[in-house]
Amino acid sequence: MGSWSERQEEKREGKEKDKTRREKLAGYFFNLSQLTYTALVLGGMVLFFQGSVINLKLLIMLLVGCILAYSWAKIGNNLLK
């Protein structure tokens, strides 16, 4: 009976490690999402308000920043499910 208890304990520890690993990886993707949003979108908005001309590269940077930030957040959210 002792080996059964040991196997159950190992299984429980494995599940806890997997849960912790998933949570940390999801947190990594959420942080990556925040960093992407800050760098591309907010940085692009500063350039937008400093210049008087709307540049195509600026609009592409804003669009790509929004899409990437959403994608990283979605990946992090899916890892938590």
Looking at the 3D structure of the chain, how many domains does it have?
1
Q: Does residue 2 fall inside a structural domain?
A: no
Q: What is the pTM of this model?
A: 0.78
Q: Does residue 46 fall inside a structural domain?
A: yes
* Domain hosting residue 53, numbered range: 25-80
pLDDT at residue number 1:
56
Q: Which amino acid is located at 42 in the chain?
A: L
Residue 78 has pLDDT above 70, yes or no: yes
Q: Does residue 55 fall inside a structural domain?
A: yes
Using one digit for the tens of pLDDT, what is the confidence trace for 3-16?
Answer: 888 899 999 999 99
Q: Does residue 15 fall inside a structural domain?
A: no
What's the rounded Cα separation, in Å, for the pair 53 and 50? 9
